[in-house]
Amino acid sequence: MENIKSYVQQHKDRFINELIELLKIPSVSADTAYSQDVIDTAEAVKESLSKAGCDYVETCDTPGYPIIYGEKIIDPNLPTVLVYGHYDVQPPDPLELWTSPPFEPVIKTTDIHPEGAIFARGACDDKGQMYMHVKALELMVQSNTLPCNVKFMIEGEEEVGSASLAWFVERNQEKLKNDVILISDTGMISNQQPSITTGLRGLSYVEVEVTGPNRDLHSGLYGGAVANPINILAKMIASLHDENNHITIPGFYDKVEELSAEERAEMAKAPFSLEKYKNALNIADVYGEKGYVTNERNSIRPTLDVNGIWGGYTGEGAKTVIASKAFAKISMRLVPNQEWEEITELFTKHFTSIAPAGVTVKVTPHHGGQGYVTPIDSIGYQAANKAYTETFGVPAIPVRSGGSIPIVALFEKELKSKTILMGFGLDSDAIHSPNEHFGIFNYLKGIETIPLFYKYFVELSSK
Amino acid sequence: MENIKSYVQQHKDRFINELIELLKIPSVSADTAYSQDVIDTAEAVKESLSKAGCDYVETCDTPGYPIIYGEKIIDPNLPTVLVYGHYDVQPPDPLELWTSPPFEPVIKTTDIHPEGAIFARGACDDKGQMYMHVKALELMVQSNTLPCNVKFMIEGEEEVGSASLAWFVERNQEKLKNDVILISDTGMISNQQPSITTGLRGLSYVEVEVTGPNRDLHSGLYGGAVANPINILAKMIASLHDENNHITIPGFYDKVEELSAEERAEMAKAPFSLEKYKNALNIADVYGEKGYVTNERNSIRPTLDVNGIWGGYTGEGAKTVIASKAFAKISMRLVPNQEWEEITELFTKHFTSIAPAGVTVKVTPHHGGQGYVTPIDSIGYQAANKAYTETFGVPAIPVRSGGSIPIVALFEKELKSKTILMGFGLDSDAIHSPNEHFGIFNYLKGIETIPLFYKYFVELSSK
């Protein structure tokens, strides 16, 4: 442990500067305007793996962006850790709300990060958290403490659904063979209280298009006489929740796991202040499904949210138009046992069925993924907990997250191994929002904690 | 009449070319990026009035875009016609749906316009129709047939609410004194069946902003636990109509005039094919207020339509975000007796009241105007009808339009005179839509009909 700390202390400035260089490349996978940048980022990751000590690195072509594979096999008889991460980032908009440009990383201090945090798109999600693993490998190789084999699989389409990764994993089961999958793409409760994410929600993401008249119309001459696609879309979206904020899609809840009163009581023990939560978001009240509290609504319950809506005249001033079309992007977060493809079908069928005769509706599925639960009695979970306990001084708390890493369920299905979600981000890091950042404390703590996971995983595996 | 026809025949190519030059200037009043073009258009109109024969022309400064005033006073004892029109145009978007650029006018033939139509933004609304009056003046001056005094008042903010015109009219009642106001900014039934618009709807146009959390949030971590401004906006919009498509704003219908069964029977005589209407718009069915037919829904009934909506991620691909804000532009078409300012207040009060605790709502009124009805026994209406009867061979039919020219009610209030709406456009001219056009037949027919209005108005006035 002392060796680890001193190595991190000695090299921390370089660790930070290397991450800053990586953050400068705008690898926005959702927007084809950035495609060369995404590819450049892949190459930068590949180089960094070589330098950190991988014996073999490879740019794996896929139908989409490449996957960077790297490995260091020290003994085929020892366990193998597969590290997964992603080098793509969310779109940075709305740009005007960033206090510094999203791809010009700067270090600023905040109340939560008195030691400074790196502000940039991808700082936490996931370049910063992914790069902790690269630097942890360097540390173990340089200090001759790597206790097992390691493989890296770093993809570039996580923010748009990981379609190519699924394609790749299905075709490379032997290459990717491992004993545990390690991912840092989640958060922890606070810098004083580490936690391990044991549950993830699934996702179904669709785009809907409502078409009314075949052209934009003058709202005076046609208003009131034809179905207005925007009004209709609003009405259709509104009808997807009932007065108790239950989702109204027939069959939507059929496979949802109902937690016991005991399990809900256990969940309620996690530290949470509703007042602080409301103040942090500047909202007068929370809002959600009747019968559940906030920490249940965003973890064990499925949800439906509009992520974007547009139609008609959205420029300056006023235009009296009835638009021909209106659009929305809608995502549903799912809980374990809900099949995302089935939910997408249920949505499509229902949404199409509720359209009135004056419009036509098109539903385009974007992507999706299954929910996932990690058992806390697994060797991987226990190794992670020991590692956190050693670096933070307190044990980690298991928590269910409301987010999705759709690929995790696929890993279990295709690679037959469990995933451990060792996240070092904080809720306040503003991932997917303007001013995303990642604490220097968190970044370095991750680099310290990861080698201990390897150590305890090998120790517990050999028992 | 033969003199008029021969003058138009002799000069028609020049009339068309002059209009084309005017249409090339993109006078989009809603977008400040075009402000110099709007001003250039004003100057072009001023010059055209001078050349046509006005004795006095003036660029009248206002708090907004200038108003062009022109006059030819031949005898203070004779009646005075005040011509109103506007030189600004609607925004041209969506640009990609135009088959030729909106500000590069071209003449193309269509089924309805075998003699050709000029395709350009503003071709019909209102540059083309306004310029008919300029050319009719030229004709009367050149042929020495102007039978009375004429004043022109051409504004540049009609498409954004005519705020400066209201300001100007209130301050220039003596200058604008007249016996009848003549406007061509409406349509007629067909090129075989002229009609005169006797009713206009009023308008209240507002923009709404719904704010939830103070920043965009990750939809996985917060989805289901906080009010999503887009979902809430959709729900609020949906609730503005009940299951019969009645508007639910308390007090909204209080002053609405209910037409008698006889009046509705009279309206039903206007030629109308529901099948053709649906086919023209490519819709499977019409949609609107229960208890009223299409031609009532868009004329004698008030309506509420969303003209634009936006919020969240609207780019390519998928972004799992809960937006901090969602917006909509909403317009209400009003019928005579509804006070637009009162309706705006009722909307604001109601819309704010239905917001749940998790969001805040801001309503910004854009502009509005009163509805209007022209009596068909007035001298102005009768003169117009005689003019149409002479040039088209059949009498005009009086119709109520669903559109709004908010300033017409103000004219009556401030100038104490009646307005005659001599429109020469067709419903199919796509005003406010891509590929707006104006038939050459209609343009020239307008130039022929207007001098006859002057003639009969003076004749009937002297009786």
| All domains of chain A in start order, with CATH | 2-200+371-461 (3.40.630.10), 202-257+300-369 (3.30.70.360)
What's the pLDDT score for residue A2? 76
User: Contact B320/A294, CB-based, under 8 Å?
Assistant: no
**pLDDT at residue A320 greater than cutoff 90:** no
pLDDT in tens, A279-304: 999 999 999 999 999 999 998 899 99
Q: Is B203 helix (H, G, I), strand (E, B) or coil?
A: strand
Minimum CA–CA partner of B330 in chain A:
A320
What's the pLDDT score for residue B372? 85
Would you place residue A374 in the very low, low, confident or very high pLDDT band (cuts 50, 70, 90)? confident
User: Contact B323/A308, CB-based, under 8 Å?
Assistant: yes
Would you place residue A89 in the very low, low, confident or very high pLDDT band (cuts 50, 70, 90)? very high
User: Contact B241/A227, CB-based, under 8 Å?
Assistant: no
What's the pLDDT score for residue A261? 87
**Residue B267 host element (H or E):** helix B261-267
What's the pLDDT score for residue A152? 98
User: Contact A283/B358, CB-based, under 8 Å?
Assistant: yes
* Mean pLDDT, residues A394-404 taken together: 85
Distance, CA of A76 to chain centre: 32
A245: left (phi over 0), alpha (psi -120 to 50) or beta: left
What's the pLDDT score for residue B220? 82
**pLDDT at residue B377 greater than cutoff 90:** no
The residues near B266 (Cβ < 8 Å, ≥ 6 apart) are none
A370 to chain B, any CB pair closer than 8 A? The answer is: no
Show the tokens assigned to B1: 């009449």
**Residue A23 host element (H or E):** helix A2-23
User: Contact B238/A235, CB-based, under 8 Å?
Assistant: yes
By mean pLDDT, which of A59-68, A364-373, B74-83 is the weakest? Answer: A364-373
Q: How far is A178 from chain B (nearest CA, A)?
A: 28
The residues near A325 (Cβ < 8 Å, ≥ 6 apart) are A209, A210, A211, A212, A229, A311
d(CA A143, CA A135): 12
**pLDDT at residue A264 greater than cutoff 90:** no
What is the residue whose two structure tokens read 């989409």? Answer: A64
pLDDT in tens, A15-73: 999 999 999 999 999 999 999 999 999 999 999 999 999 999 999 999 999 999 999 99
What's the pLDDT score for residue A369? 83
Q: How far is A220 from chain B (nearest CA, A)?
A: 4
**More reliable by pLDDT, B292 or A377:** B292
Q: Distance of CA A171 to CAs A65, A165, A174, A175, B389, Å?
A: 16, 10, 9, 9, 79
User: Contact A238/B238, CB-based, under 8 Å?
Assistant: yes
Would you place residue A308 in the very low, low, confident or very high pLDDT band (cuts 50, 70, 90)? very high
**pLDDT at residue B1 greater than cutoff 80:** no
Show the tokens assigned to B403: 């559109």
d(CA A168, CA B103): 51
d(CA B256, CA B335): 7
Minimum CA–CA partner of A315 in chain B:
B31
What's the pLDDT score for residue B257? 82
What's the pLDDT score for residue A409? 85
**More reliable by pLDDT, B218 or B62:** B62
Percentage of chain B surpassing pLDDT 90? 82
B270 to chain A, any CB pair closer than 8 A? The answer is: no
What's the pLDDT score for residue B36? 97
A247 pairs with which residues across the strands? Answer: A241
Q: Please tell me which of the candidates B219, B237, B305 has its beta carbon nearest to residue A322.
A: B305
d(CA A447, CA A442): 9
**Residue A421 host element (H or E):** strand A419-421
**pLDDT at residue A379 greater than cutoff 90:** yes
Q: Quick one: which of A312, A225, A217, A322 has its CA closest to B427?
A: A217
Q: Please tell me which of the candidates B317, B329, B403 has its beta carbon nearest to residue A313.
A: B329
User: Contact A285/B30, CB-based, under 8 Å?
Assistant: no
What's the pLDDT score for residue A287? 96
Show the CA angle centred on residue A282, arms to residues A276 and A283, nearest 5°. Answer: 95
* Mean pLDDT, residues A264-271 taken together: 80
**Residue A302: what are its φ and ψ, rounded to 5°?**
-75, 155
Q: Please tell me which of the candidates A90, A311, A358 has its beta carbon nearest to residue B319.
A: A90
> Taking a C-beta distance cutoff of 8 angstroms, is the pair B340, B179 a contact?
no
Show the CA angle centred on residue A391, arms to residues A385 and A394, nearest 5°. Answer: 60
Q: How far apart are the first and last CA of chain B?
A: 22
* Mean pLDDT, residues B90-106 taken together: 95
Alpha-carbon dihedral sign for residues B345, B347, B351, B354 = positive
**pLDDT at residue A359 greater than cutoff 90:** yes
Minimum CA–CA partner of A299 in chain B:
B221
Q: Distance of CA B84 to CAs A49, A304, B293, Å?
A: 74, 52, 33
d(CA A348, CA A344): 6
Please state, rounded to an integer, the average pLDDT across all residues of chain B.
94
Taking contacts as CB-CB distances below 8 angstroms, the residues of chain A near B315 are 30-31, 91, 93
Please state, rounded to an integer, the average pLDDT across all residues of chain A.
94
**Residue B301: what are its φ and ψ, rounded to 5°?**
-115, 140
d(CA B420, CA B184): 8
Would you place residue B62 in the very low, low, confident or very high pLDDT band (cuts 50, 70, 90)? very high
**Count of helices and strands (H, E) across chain B:** 13, 18
Q: How far is B222 from chain A (nearest CA, A)?
A: 6
Q: Quick one: which of A114, A85, A265 has its CA closest to A192?
A: A114
Show the tokens assigned to B439: 């038939």
**pLDDT at residue B269 greater than cutoff 80:** no
**pLDDT at residue B318 greater than cutoff 90:** no
Q: How far apart are the first and last CA of chain A?
A: 22
**Residue B113: what are its φ and ψ, rounded to 5°?**
-120, 70
What is the residue whose two structure tokens read 């370049």? Answer: A127
Maximum distance among all alpha carbons in chain A? 80
Q: Is B319 helix (H, G, I), strand (E, B) or coil?
A: coil
* Mean pLDDT, residues B51-77 taken together: 97
Test the A interface: residue of B119, B233, B287 with most A CBs within 10 Å: B287
* Mean pLDDT, residues A437-441 taken together: 98
What's the pLDDT score for residue A262? 81
Q: Quick one: which of B56, B94, B93 has its CA closest to B72?
A: B56
The residues near A298 (Cβ < 8 Å, ≥ 6 apart) are A288, A402, B221, B222, B223, B224, B225
Test the A interface: residue of B125, B299, B320 with most A CBs within 10 Å: B320
User: Contact B307/A97, CB-based, under 8 Å?
Assistant: no
Q: Quick one: which of B321, B70, B298 has its CA closest to B200?
A: B298
What's the pLDDT score for residue A337? 85
> Taking a C-beta distance cutoff of 8 angstroms, is the pair B217, B226 a contact?
yes
Q: Please tell me which of the candidates B90, B159, B282 has its beta carbon nearest to residue A213.
A: B282
Would you place residue A251 in the very low, low, confident or very high pLDDT band (cuts 50, 70, 90)? very high
Test the A interface: residue of B283, B330, B427 with most A CBs within 10 Å: B283
Q: Please tell me which of the candidates B301, B318, B331 has its beta carbon nearest to residue A161.
A: B318
* Mean pLDDT, residues A195-220 taken together: 92
pLDDT in tens, A117-145: 999 999 999 999 999 999 999 999 999 99
What's the pLDDT score for residue B279? 93
The residues near B167 (Cβ < 8 Å, ≥ 6 apart) are B62, B63
What's the pLDDT score for residue B151? 98
CA atoms within 13 A on the CB side of A434: 16
Give exposure, A274-287, as e/b (b: 16+ Cβ within 10 Å).
eeebbeebebeebb
What's the pLDDT score for residue B63? 96
B76 to chain A, any CB pair closer than 8 A? The answer is: no
A368 to chain B, any CB pair closer than 8 A? The answer is: no
**pLDDT at residue A259 greater than cutoff 90:** no
Task: DSSP for B141-201, please give it.
Answer: HHTT---SEEEEEEES-GGGT-HHHHHHHHH-TTTT--SEEEE--SB-S-SSS-EEEEEE-
Q: Is A250 helix (H, G, I), strand (E, B) or coil?
A: coil
What's the pLDDT score for residue B145? 96
B281 to chain A, any CB pair closer than 8 A? The answer is: yes
Q: How far is B218 from chain A (nearest CA, A)?
A: 6
Minimum CA–CA partner of B202 in chain A:
A220
Would you place residue A405 in the very low, low, confident or very high pLDDT band (cuts 50, 70, 90)? confident
Distance, CA of B324 to chain centre: 35
